[in-house]
Structure 1
Amino acid sequence: MKILIEKASIVDRHSPYNGKVCDILVENGRIRAIAPDLAVTADQTVRHPGLHVSPGWVDIFSHFGDPGYEHKETLATGAAAAAAGGFTDVFVLPNTRPVVDSKSQVEYIRRAASSLPVRIWPIGAMTKGVEGKDLAEMYDMRQSGAIAFSDGTHPIQAAGLLLKGLQYVKAFDGVIIQIPDDRTVGANGLINEGIISTRLGLPGKPMMAEELMVARDIKLARYTESRLHFTGVTSPRSLEYIRRAKEAGLAVSCSVTPYHLFFTDSDLTEYDTNLKVFPPLRDGITVEALRKAVLEGVVDAIATHHQPHEFDSKIVEFEYAKPGMSGLETAYAALRTSLPGLTPDHTVELLSSGPRAIFGLDQPTIVEGKEAALSFFDPAGTTLLTKSLSKSKNNPFLGKTLQGKVLGMLNGTQLHLNQPGQ
């Protein structure tokens, strides 16, 4: 099968074609030729005004629900949403039923996802049952294909347990992912603690809960000389701690979500449960500081925190709604709209080369002979999502016009091109 990508601006700092407009011929999943003008006949052609192509994007924190929560999302519907969002690779959370805390569960996901258009990488649970009590068999899971380790939406609370986990994964150069949140601080908080929480009469969650955990975990990473990734970071002070840790040579990295860069707690005045997320949306000043940190390169990656929920988990009183939003399909457009000054090169670093470097994935460079793992996008385009390929529809970006447009992706021989409304 031959696929011709016409007149694409190549965004890949590892490629000699970076910054050039070329045709790219992909045959049987491999890049066969790159030139300014290829006169070939292809089975399918990708063409679009303003087409940009980059190495395949990676999302490092998504919840696909399978096994056990297939009414929220399945591996197939999650992969479809990821492909529509331009992602070729997705890390899936272990917070399933049963929990992904053994090699058999890792192998189940790998087998079940083997024919999907997107590569699915299981994150193994750090503790048995994600209960935060006893370490899971991380070595066995690593041997079976677990890409990293985390208790997902249940941050590790016990310092001693995280210490043991960091020491354990060091033996095979593993990475632990942590949402930084001390759940004893503002334990009943529903939204960010501040003026809006007071005005709405909702209990607040202070940023201090995040900052305490970041400071503690950095000390543990320093002690163990192990690798730690913070995701869903929302506090400028947390980012300052992380920046200092990097300057000190620690193997610490971090990611933020597109929605924490786009929305503020002021958007909650209508009690929209789709905006009830964990960590909570912060105030406008904090969001501006987060955007600045991304532009300055403090942030290593963008993580969607895609967390789909069925109708009954969201169409309830705000207090009882489950936290999380569906976000794979709109991640790029939300990022582009929030940060119009973000260059295509920096965007690809956040969505592709950054996460690949942190977690040891191969870098699919755009050169002849390499396997094709490509994302297609148009920075000058617009997105108006009217239909979602995710099984759940708890996406607050539905019906919003956003800057930037994902055109699709190519993963080996698997080509996905978005239709109008996607």
Structure 2
Amino acid sequence: MNILIKSATIIDSKSEFHNTTQDLLIENGKITKISSSIKNPKNYKEIKRDNLYISQGWFDSSVSFGEPGYEERETIQNGLKTAAYSGFTSVAVNANTNPVIDSNSDITFLNSKASKNAVNLLPIGALTAASKGNDLAELYDMSSAGAVAFYDYKKPIANPNMMKIALQYASNFDGLVCSFPQENKISGNGVMNENITSTRLGLKGNPALAEELQVARDLFLLEYTGGKLHIPTISTATSVALIREAKKKKLDITCSVAIHNLYFSDAVLTDFDTNFKVLPPLRTQTDIDALIEAVKDGTIDMVTTDHNPIDVEEKKIEFDHANYGAIGLESAFGALQSIFTTKKTIDILTKGKTRFGIEATPIAIGNMANIALFNPDTKYTFSKKDIVSRSKNAIFENESLKGKAYGIIANNQAVLNS
């Protein structure tokens, strides 16, 4: 692949060309020249876009596609195309499948399906067999096959001894254990945040306490075992405070928050729109403020789309019975830019790679191109025409967003919106 990118503003603090507008020559997938003006005597394909910006390729630490088993929700190929059009060059994919990804051969299957793609698929294996919480899955074997972490997607580990053993065992090969922050005995049948809004709507509440008890338990276990823990998608101010304190103790802990938990409060549920039924649930504005501050100060290590396609039959039903989940890849950049500056948004979208074993690739001469292309200033209303996913359960539908991705250049391929 040979490409000449024209007049691109580079946002990459690790590059000597940061905050400058340059032409980039890419030959056989490698950046061979960066200059204010590059001629094109070999007639390479030129990329020109309005208000073009580029950065290192973006990373999402929590994506679900469905395949195998739930191809009606999303396939691996279309999911990776969605990620590419949305600016992501690497996505960590959950074991949210049927059967659950919990063995060496399952990880090999995912890697095979995603091979030769512009987007790197990083498999997350189940922490327990079939994600049932009874026995540890084949963690070492999955790690050997390429699993980057272990997580029973949205299923908390009820048995604290199981979590203790998992942390101890995985530390033998530097494995990353993920634990969903919810105590089911407290959350019960709650379908939204327990608050005045849930009372007004007559919906069962899932209290912040359910998350915070689990976070506190897991941090105590981490301190005891000395393992390596990631807590995905926290949603409360107290969870932030607990993790901030754990980091002061130098525990090996990271955490993430879903973009929609930074943007929407539980007040949006007044119309019973099931696209807003997510887990953890949307919380209060006080929680949102604490989460945003934690992203800014680094207490929260990464922000995820928590992209989870759900087919229409499981969403267009009564709120109590609808499935949890929302797609978020396509709206991620525009939503983040509605909260943060462009510089901070790019920092957010490129953080977390090291935790999941990805080597960052600065925009520099001699490096392979791993680039996201975008326009940070486009203002638009997100609608169904912006959705590439098979499932259309977009939590940001009809929201006014700022900024759109043009696509990516990675793995010696260019995947760009027309």
What are the ranges of 5 or more consecutive residues in structure 1 without an aligned counterpart?
A: none
For residues 193 and 89 of structure 2, the distance between their equivalents in structure 1, rounded to whole angstroms, comes to 33
Secondary structure of the 1:410 match is: strand
The offset of 1:93, in angstroms, is 0.8
Pairing partner for 2:369 from 359, 367, 372:
372
Secondary structure of the 1:184 match is: helix
Judge which range, 275-284 or 113-122, deviates more.
113-122
Q: How does 1:348-367 map to 2 (within 5 A)?
A: 348-352=346-350, 354-367=351-364
For residues 145 and 65 of structure 1, the distance between their equivalents in structure 2, rounded to whole angstroms, comes to 19
Secondary structure of the 1:239 match is: helix
Please give the root-mean-square deviation of Cα atoms over the aligned residues, in Å. 1.4
For residues 79 and 93 of structure 2, the distance between their equivalents in structure 1, rounded to whole angstroms, comes to 10
Q: Which residue is 1:412 aligned to?
A: 411
Secondary structure of the 2:185 match is: coil
**Under a length normalisation based on structure 2, what TM-score does the superposition of the two structures give?**
0.96
The offset of 1:391, in angstroms, is 0.7
Q: Which residue is 2:395 aligned to?
A: 396
**Alpha-carbon distance change, 43 to 331 in structure 1, aligned in 2, over 3 angstroms:** same
Q: Give percent identity, aligned residues only.
A: 40
**Alpha-carbon distance change, 104 to 329 in structure 1, aligned in 2, over 3 angstroms:** same
Contact 1:126 1:138 in 2 (8 A): yes
Contact 2:8 2:21 in 1 (8 A): yes
Contact 1:232 1:256 in 2 (8 A): yes
Contact 2:237 2:286 in 1 (8 A): no
For residues 100 and 368 of structure 1, the distance between their equivalents in structure 2, rounded to whole angstroms, comes to 39
For residues 37 and 5 of structure 2, the distance between their equivalents in structure 1, rounded to whole angstroms, comes to 10
The offset of 1:344, in angstroms, is 3.2
Contact 2:101 2:125 in 1 (8 A): yes
Q: Which residue is 2:121 aligned to?
A: 120
What are the ranges of 5 or more consecutive residues in structure 2 without an aligned counterpart?
A: none
Q: How many residues align?
A: 415
Q: Does 2:346 match 1:345? A: no
For residues 345 and 286 of structure 2, the distance between their equivalents in structure 1, rounded to whole angstroms, comes to 23
The offset of 1:46, in angstroms, is 2.3
Q: Which residue is 2:174 aligned to?
A: 173
Q: Which residue is 1:199 aligned to?
A: 200
For residues 90 and 278 of structure 2, the distance between their equivalents in structure 1, rounded to whole angstroms, comes to 23
Q: How does 1:115-154 map to 2 (within 5 A)?
A: 115-154=116-155
Q: Which residue is 2:75 aligned to?
A: 74
Contact 2:260 2:395 in 1 (8 A): no
Runs of 4+ in 1 over 6 A off after TM superposition: none
Secondary structure of the 2:173 match is: coil
For residues 300 and 415 of structure 1, the distance between their equivalents in structure 2, rounded to whole angstroms, comes to 29
For residues 159 and 197 of structure 2, the distance between their equivalents in structure 1, rounded to whole angstroms, comes to 31
The offset of 1:205, in angstroms, is 0.5
For residues 127 and 97 of structure 1, the distance between their equivalents in structure 2, rounded to whole angstroms, comes to 14
Cα shift readout 1:205-257 (whole Å, capped 9, x = no counterpart): 10011111111111111111111111111111111111111121111111111
Q: Which residue is 2:264 aligned to?
A: 263
Secondary structure of the 2:405 match is: strand
For residues 179 and 411 of structure 2, the distance between their equivalents in structure 1, rounded to whole angstroms, comes to 31
Secondary structure of the 1:396 match is: coil
Cα shift readout 1:120-140 (whole Å, capped 9, x = no counterpart): 111011110100010111111
Cα shift readout 1:158-215 (whole Å, capped 9, x = no counterpart): 1110111111111111111222111110211000000100000000010011111111
For residues 161 and 244 of structure 1, the distance between their equivalents in structure 2, rounded to whole angstroms, comes to 24
For residues 347 and 393 of structure 1, the distance between their equivalents in structure 2, rounded to whole angstroms, comes to 25
Contact 2:240 2:290 in 1 (8 A): no
**Under a length normalisation based on structure 1, what TM-score does the superposition of the two structures give?**
0.95
Contact 1:301 1:349 in 2 (8 A): no
For 1:90, the aligned partner's letter is V
For 2:200, the aligned partner's letter is R
Cα shift readout 1:272-298 (whole Å, capped 9, x = no counterpart): 001000000012222122222222322
Judge which range, 172-181 or 99-108, deviates more.
172-181
The offset of 1:141, in angstroms, is 0.5
Judge which range, 273-282 or 116-125, deviates more.
116-125
Secondary structure of the 1:269 match is: helix
Q: Which residue is 1:304 aligned to?
A: 305
Q: Which residue is 1:162 aligned to?
A: 163
Secondary structure of the 1:405 match is: strand
Q: Which residue is 2:184 aligned to?
A: 183
Q: How does 1:87-126 map to 2 (within 5 A)?
A: 87-126=88-127
Secondary structure of the 2:186 match is: coil
For residues 47 and 215 of structure 2, the distance between their equivalents in structure 1, rounded to whole angstroms, comes to 44
The offset of 1:57, in angstroms, is 0.7
